[in-house]
Amino acid sequence: MVKKIQMAILVAFTAIFSACTGQTTTPTGVVNLTPSEFSEIVKKGGVILDVRTPGEVEDGHIPSAINIDYYGDNFETNVSTLDKDAEIYVYCRSGKRSASSATILHKQGFTKVYNLLGGFNAWKSSGLPIVK
């Protein structure tokens, strides 16, 4: 009984901590970050990966981002050429494609993968810099 109570307290603490920071780790080991967390952590270096379509990228992108279209014919092959030891910061328009992309990267052996919660829309709404 005591162990169940301890486990419940641990689960509750983890949930509260994650909710307060916005940072969560998915079951695949991908770290989800809020726009402000993402903007701070990308300063450490690494690859900023924009997985939106070229048309979406024309409307603006995060500075220094490279584009590999999630819907492109060779997405998995193209991302596999990235440095597996680098930190990879991935985003899309709203967060769904980037979450899928981050899972693909993790399955390919990338170990430092970060996903932007809310995607480019959340980034723009936060007033963070964009390049057009």
pLDDT digit string, tens, across residues 98-121: 999 999 999 999 999 999 999 999
In the chain, the number of structural domains is: 1
Q: Classify 12 as helix, strand or coil.
A: helix
Residue 40 located in a structural domain: yes
Q: Which is nearest to 69 in space by CA: 61, 57, 58?
A: 57
Residue 90 located in a structural domain: yes
Q: What is the CATH number of the domain that holds 67?
A: 3.40.250.10
Q: What is the pTM of this model?
A: 0.80
pLDDT band of residue 24 (cuts 50, 70, 90) is low
Residue 6 located in a structural domain: no
Is residue 97 pLDDT above 50, yes or no?
Answer: yes
Tens digits of per-residue pLDDT, 42-54?
999 999 999 999 9
Rounded to whole angstroms, the Cα distance separating 88 from 35 reads 15
Residue 30 located in a structural domain: yes
What is the span of the domain harbouring residue 36?
Answer: 23-125
Residue 2 located in a structural domain: no
> Between vectors from CA 87 to CA 82 and to CA 93, what angle results, nearest 5°?
80
44 CB contacts (<8 Å, ≥6 apart)?
Answer: 87
**Catalytic residue set:** 92
